[in-house]
Structure 1
């Protein structure tokens, strides 16, 4: 069973609608629900059925999700749902009320990579969620067409989905059914997460009870029982499972079979190193940890563990462009300007000035935005203001006011470009120093810190460059800044 084994579970383009007669309990084609008529079945599962529908008021197609938990309810001769038993009735009506409550909340979300919930309504003793119809291609088919999928292409799908999940999680929801069939590719760079019919809001104080929603291979262990401790880490397990399927061509082993003596080969052991970096493979393994407490706790933590887009192979990325900045008057940055900025910054941050100039120069190709970014790395408000005052003249093509003749602890940035290599290679970093750096980085990146410190130490020519390489792996701007500030305070070169 591979990445394309459950494509029928999600939405599909118009031409891919299934015959309703082939789906148990599905409403027939032509059936009217208020201003909508049903044209066929787009997808189905244990939680409900998604129909292709026509809106007769707006003259457009859309998707309608029907709440129909197959283990609790059946359809009668009037097309209404009825619980299978008195015991099932309580669970069915509880779930129905939650479905309605959460459809109301989901309708307020608007994210480019999450299917839009347009409205909801009740009929047939159940509820319906009306969603935009997503065109394009199911993720599994897209992967099959693109295989082998490059690391850049995979991350171009994963990052937008994570961005959408961050918004959902921030509102207290979990998706609970992330799998290839619930990801649709509108274009090669425009993924969309579908089917929020299984989504649930996590309410503290309610004992954490949630209905069991399980897609074998993609569902985390805590989803196999109603009192499982579900949260953002649950969705991250599922997304990591999707990523694992892409790099191996195989769906992961079901979570219960991994609880003891995990037989699933690690991604870092089976991933093709000619295509995928060790950083990416270790991040997948982290997300796929069987025990929920061993997984990343948030989208942000998982994002920080992934390779940064600006460090990937140039052949995998779109061509870079240089944007002219009308405020600075410079379309590109020359060495003299960055050298003067570094000298002014070194008065406040010492040898880390060169690190910050090199890093921010990758993101800002004009003087104004670069100067502002560097100022934000100065913690003291007084020092920040002084830096801005002394470098204001650079915007008019002047030298910074009152330039320093000597900066204690700096590497004489005026005498050479910031990126020039030293004349000699420094001795290997002290193990105690590297251990301290690893401990600090682990606060942001978890267990990946060890491998990143080891790899970066082998490449870096000095401590400043080591911090540059490591800080580039911290995606969150505030956390990256905090790491660099701590580095300035605790790890700066002596003399």
Structure 2
């Protein structure tokens, strides 16, 4: 089929009509927003742009058609609304001057880094597949497989805000597998939430949107941009200078599962630092098994060292491989262990000091006698006798 016959809203055959019989889109319609690309714009001499299917503060996602592979794709355009604009007469973005230009150039670099990060995992079944990425129109684009379905957020909205526990676990485990792969590459996602978990029409689970992804830090502390989603972001994401790692994603994944089984978005982690009133999942929903409730709470521990340190451990806890302690019990156990270690160290120190004093007392060195300085008439030897001690004087003879 000639791509010109395709509806730019649903990509179905318009059969030569001006109005799509499938969705009602009218040929020649303006884009949904004036700043969006006009439908039928051709990018990289390959991708026919259709209507936008989503947009936010940092980018616009379009439905598109790959004229080379003859398949539907999704094209994400980098378009930070506070730094650029676009007029209806041009496809190029208009970059604001001054500091905002500098910010834009830095952000564009991060967008391309996102593309490279996602491209590393194109063959992973639970991560959205990146087909291509390129720069054009003074901005950049990422071409991804088109996913037919809806986000977990939309699924929850149409399911009474929560899911049966077994269904929730079945959706979270593929995300665990996806995170396990990216964490092994030293990358953290930093934006796990129901918005970025996609469920396809054939029930596949895909992790999407790596826009916030960064390399996990080593020993050197680095400044990271503050990227967070209230209710899902751990305390360390509220600070621009903070150490983040796999445990950062684990908190967000635990919070997502909390939302799925309780129907409630968890309170913000910074509020929990002041007064932690997070209701246990098993109390918010009595059908949540205690082992699952504990695993969620452990993943959402405010102290990052108390959380699961790798997603594989969280997965094992969710599948019943072992029972974990709650964060409170784990902290109490650690305090007790530290106390025992301190007491043992004090006992050993005391014993060591006592032993040293005794050794110094028993084995006190005897003053040596200078035999050469003794005169013959100065030497007296005492010999014991069974009846009485008698004193004999012997003259020393050389």
Is the TM-score greater than 0.5? yes
Larger RCO (alpha carbons 8 Å, 6+ apart): 1
Alignment partners' CA distance in 2, 1:67 and 1:207: 28
SS at match of 2:103: helix
| Corresponding position of 2:62 | 51
Structure 1 residues 48, 221: closer, same or farther in 2, change over 3 A?
A: farther
RMSD: 3.2
Write the deviation string for residues 325-368 of structure 1: whole angstroms up to 9, x where unpaired.
Answer: xxxxxxxxxxxxxxxxxxxxxxxxxxxxxxxxxxxxxxxxxxxx
Q: Against the structure 1 CA distance between its residues 128 and 134, is the aligned structure 2 distance closer, same or farther, given a 3 Å change threshold?
A: same
Residue 192 of structure 1 is aligned with which of 193, 206, 213?
206
Name 1:61's counterpart in structure 2. Answer: 72
| Number of the residue aligned with 1:307 | 319
Using a 3 Å threshold, how does the CA distance of structure 1 residues 73 and 206 change in structure 2: closer, same or farther?
Answer: farther
Instruction: For residue 129 of structure 1, report the CA deviation from its aligned partner.
Output: 1.0
Q: Which residues of 2 match residues 36-435 of structure 1 at below 5 A?
A: 36-75=47-86, 78-109=90-121, 110-146=123-159, 149-187=163-201, 189-202=203-216, 204=218, 207-272=221-286, 275-308=287-320
Q: Equivalents in 1 of 2:219, 2:84: separation in Å?
A: 28
- 1: CA distance, partners of 2:240 / 2:111: 16
Shift, 1:124, TM fit: 1.8
Cα distance in 1, alignment partners of residues 188 and 112 from structure 2: 16
Question: 2:387 aligns to what?
Answer: none
**Alpha-carbon offset, residue 20 of structure 1:** 7.9
The unaligned stretches of length 5 or more in structure 2 are 1-8, 12-21, 331-398
Give 3-state SS (helix, strand or coil) of 2:274's partner: coil
Distance verdict in 2 for CA 1:111–1:246, change over 3 Å: same
CA contact (8 A) 1:114 1:192 kept: yes
Deviation at residue 297 of structure 1 after TM alignment: 2.0
Give the alignment's TM-score, normalised by structure 1.
0.55
Q: Give a deviation string over 1:216-270, Cα, whole Å, max 9, x none.
A: 2223333334323222122222222221111221222233333311233232431
In the alignment, which residue of structure 1 is the partner of 2:38? 28
Separation in 2, partners of 1:211, 1:144: 30
> Which residue pairs with 2:383 in the alignment?
none
Q: For structure 1, which runs of at least 5 residues remain unmatched after alignment? A: 1-11, 312-440, 452-495
d(CA) in 1 for partners of 2:80, 2:217: 21
Q: Deviations over 1:305-333 (max 9, x none)?
A: 2233xx8xxxxxxxxxxxxxxxxxxxxxx
The DSSP-based 3-state class of the residue aligned with 1:78 is coil
Q: Distance in 2 between matches of 1:13 and 1:194?
A: 21
Take 2:299 and 2:242, find their aligned partners in 1: how far apart are those partners? 17
Aligned partners of 2:221 and 2:242 also within 8 Å: no
For residues 261 and 192 of structure 1, the distance between their equivalents in structure 2, rounded to whole angstroms, comes to 35
Q: Which whole-Å CA distance do the structure 1 matches of 2:292 and 2:306 have between them?
A: 17
CA distance in 1, matches of 2:187, 2:10: 27
More helix by share: 1
The answer to whether the 8 Å contact 2:217/2:244 transfers is no
